[in-house]
Amino acid sequence: MQVTIRVNGNNTTHEIEDRLLLVHYLRDVLGLTGTNIGCDTTSCGACTVHLNGESVKSCTMLAAQADGAEVTTIEGLAGSDEMHPMQRAFRENHGLQCGFCTPGMVMAAVGLLREQANPTEEQVRSGLEGNLCRCTGYHNIVQAVLAAAKEGGAR
Amino acid sequence: MIPAPFAYRRAGSVDEALSLLAEHGDEAKVLAGGHSLLPLMKLRLAVPEVVVDVGRLQDLSYVRDEGDAIAVGALTRHRDLETSDLLAREAPLLSHAAGFVGDPQVRHRGTLGGSLVHGDPASDLPAVVLAMGGTLVARGPRGSREIPAADFFQSLFETAMEPDELLTEVRIPKPQSRGWGFEKFNQRAIDWATVGVAVSGDQRPAIALVNMGGTPLRATAAEQALADGGSVADAAALAADGTEPPSDLSASADYRRHLARVLVRRAVEDARGRA
Ligand SMILES: Cc1cc2nc3c(=O)[nH]c(=O)nc-3n(C[C@H](O)[C@H](O)[C@H](O)COP(=O)(O)OP(=O)(O)OC[C@H]3O[C@@H](n4cnc5c(N)ncnc54)[C@H](O)[C@@H]3O)c2cc1C
Ligand code: FES
Ligand code: FES
């Protein structure tokens, strides 16, 4: 089938297999490999992208379901060469070690702030419950999100 | 992991969905939010030949006040239940419990209808709808029919739905009393409940159990004890009576019975505290 998905502000149109997952469309068809596949079972959140502005796990969606929709990946978050406030906050607060979970974590965190602009620490922790990090112990990730909330991280 | 090949069909209306289901019969599967079906298809535990995507049927996504009941469209996402002011006012047990389904990403995709039709006894919302005495509305080639939640869940992953039917609506009678309680015990935040409890009402509440058998179950012995004026502690001690909970990696059957007794006590105390 043919799909047209607006990815990071650009319309992309491709002939795809009906069973193609959104994450494979992003990584293999468009070459946007910032979105990682961790668990492939909807558990880890590494594949989190925004679908019409909301966080979703792209390993558990068909590309066909995103036909006509707007998708934002980590590559398109900043919209320019400058970092997005959330990316900056992750760097400044050492919110990553190996970096594997980071694209999904950042996308989930931005999605969280859009729904809850000034979360408490508790709300950040529960808002990120769909994202696993094997390295940081979460402490600095939570600090980063709280810092980003003060800097307009919901943008 | 990649699903086995299938043909994707997107329904533009309820009628179109029904005619696609009629045409493809047992070979077809309805796709709503996909958060139960796609994981199964990726594991090849489900291998439908045709997938009928009803995810765009916006007219099945709503929460409406219908006087003595709240009508919720089958395609209403967990996120929309969680944030509905109308539900928070009139059926807070449902909106509260929806906020405990999976994680935010799951709640952005998964739907009430999908949760019910999937028929997983470990899911939260089937027990909530059972406790609230909900009615499910299914549409098929023979027209619409209403199925009380008590008759809907038949056995593990089996419901009263026919393969050519679409669940369109869930009707929740407005609770007569203000109290409600919800308890979910799990090991990690995004997990399904090891055991869960939904309580609707306070002095003579309905009590439904999550993951204590092949379907969501009413804790009838505990309900009866409360209706007879027994103490919460005495009633909660009967919470696991008549259940056959599973033993699995997260808990033994005995531990689940223990959890049911503890959680029922907490949930009924909460319900009475809110009344
Ligand atoms: C990581 C993860 C964690 C989760 N945690 C929880 C949890 O803690 N508690 C919980 O309750 N659930 C949990 N879930 C399941 C989640 O609630 C699903 O969203 C829900 O069970 C299915 O809804 P869906 O819209 O995604 O349905 P789908 O996956 O699209 O469909 C599920 C089944 O229902 C059928 N179906 C769907 N809609 C209709 C309809 N309108 N008419 C007829 N048939 C229909 C489909 O054919 C399929 O058989 C979790 C899921 C994931 C992936
Ligand atoms: S790869 Fe999608 S949730 Fe882990
Ligand atoms: S930084 Fe390594 S998994 Fe999170």
Q: Is residue A118 part of a domain?
A: yes
* Cβ contacts of B10 on chain A, cutoff 8 Å: 64, 67
The residue among A44, A69, A77 whose CA lies nearest residue A59 is A44
φ and ψ of A73, to 5 deg: -110, 175
Atom number, ligand 3, closest to the C-alpha of residue A134 = 3
Dump pLDDT digits (tens) for B176-186.
Answer: 999 999 999 99
Mutation choice for B interface testing from A19, A47, A52 by most B CBs within 10 A: A19
d(CA A81, nearest CA chain B) in Å: 27
B41 and B83 share a domain? no
Same domain, A60 and A117: no
> Over the stretch B99-144, which tens digit does the pLDDT of each residue have?
999 999 999 999 999 999 999 999 999 999 999 999 999 999 999 9
What tens digit of pLDDT does each residue of A106-129 get? 999 999 999 999 999 999 999 999
* Model confidence pLDDT, tens digit, residues A52-108: 999 999 999 999 999 999 999 999 999 888 999 999 999 999 999 999 999 999 999
Helices (H) and strands (E) in chain A, counts: 6, 5
- Total tally of structural domains belonging to chain B: 3
A71 within a domain of the structure (yes/no)? yes
Domain boundary, last residue among B173, B194, B211: B173
Long-range Cβ pairs for the range B22-31 (8 Å, 24+): B22/B141, B22/B164, B24/B49, B24/B50, B24/B52, B25/B163, B25/B164, B26/B163, B28/B52, B28/B163, B30/B54, B30/B117, B30/B166, B31/A62, B31/A65, B31/B55
The single residue listed with the structure tokens 């058998």 is B213
**H/E element holding A151?**
none
* Closest of B106, B174, B165 to residue B141, by C-alpha: B165
Separation in Å, CA of B238 to nearest CA in chain A: 33
Report DSSP state, residue B142. T
In a domain, B1, yes or no: no
Pocket test for ligand 3, best of A133, A138, A141, A142 (most atoms within 8 A of CB): A133
B48 and B17 in a common domain: yes
Over residues B200-216, the pLDDT tens digits come to 999 999 999 999 999 99
| One domain, residues A73 and A93 | no
Count interface pairs A-B at CB distance under 8 A: 78
Structural domains in chain A (count): 2
Is A44 touching ligand 2 by the criterion CB < 6 Å?
Answer: yes
Number of Cα atoms under 13 Å in the Cβ half of residue B166: 27
Residue B259: pLDDT band with limits 50, 70, 90: very high
Final residue in a domain of this structure, among A35, A61, A77 = A77
Tell me whether residue A47 is in a domain.
yes
| Last-in-domain residue among B53, B68, B85 | B53
Write down the pLDDT at residue B270.
Answer: 98
d(CA B239, CA B219): 6
* Contact present, A35 and A26 (Cβ < 8 Å): yes
Cα(A155)–Cα(B24) distance, integer angstroms: 45
Q: Are residues A34 and A99 in the same domain?
A: no
Last residue of a domain, one of A19, A50, A77: A77
Tokens of B75: 């395609």
Q: How far is CA B99 from CA B105, B124, B179, B251, in A?
A: 11, 10, 18, 24
CATH number reported for the structural domain that contains residue A35 in this entry: 3.10.20.30
CB contact under 8 A, B103 and A129: yes
Ligand in nearest proximity to the CA of A47: 2
Contact, B102 vs B125, CB < 8 A? no
Whether residue A95 is contained in a domain is answered as yes
Number of H helices, E strands in chain B: 12, 14
Output the furthest CA–CA distance in chain B (Å, rounded).
58
Which residue of B103, B106, B188 is the best one to mutate when testing the A interface, meaning the one whose CB has the most A CBs within 10 A?
B103
Q: How confident is the model at residue B189 (pLDDT cuts 50, 70, 90)?
A: confident
| CA-closest candidate to residue B262, choices B204, B187, B195, B216 | B195
B77 touches B107 (CB < 8 A) = yes
pLDDT above 80: residue A154? no
Q: Closest to A130 (Cβ–Cβ): which among B4, B51, B105?
A: B105
Note whether A91 and A27 are same-domain residues: no
**Domain harbouring B130, CATH code:** 3.30.465.10
Average pLDDT, rounded, for chain B: 97
Q: Work out the minimum CA distance from A129 to partner chain B, whole angstroms.
A: 6
My answer on whether B208 and B246 are in the same domain is yes
A42 CA to middle of ligand 2, Å?
Answer: 4
Asked whether residue A60 falls in the same domain as residue A101, the answer is no
Residue B153 lies in a domain: yes
pLDDT band per the 50, 70, 90 thresholds, residue A151: confident
Domain range for residue B263? 180-274
Q: Is the residue at A155 inside a domain?
A: no
Residue B86: pLDDT band by 50, 70, 90 thresholds? very high
Question: Which secondary structure element, helix H or strand E, spans residue B255, and what is its range?
Answer: helix B253-274
ipTM surpasses cut 0.95: yes
Ligand 2 nearest atom to the CA of residue A45, by list position: 3
pLDDT tens for each residue of B3-26: 999 999 999 999 999 999 999 989
* Chain A contact residues (CB < 8 Å to B): 1, 17-19, 21, 24, 40-43, 45, 48, 51, 54-57, 60-62, 64-65, 67, 108, 111-112, 115, 126-127, 129-131
Of A41, A58, A77, the residue that ends a domain is A77
Residue B70 pairs with which residues in a beta bridge? B65, B172
Which tokens is B272 given?
A: 């009475």
Q: Which domain holds residue A37?
A: 2-77
E strand or H helix that includes residue B42: helix B37-42
Looking at chain B, which residue has its C-alpha nearest residue A69? B56
Shortest CA gap A154–chain B (Å): 16
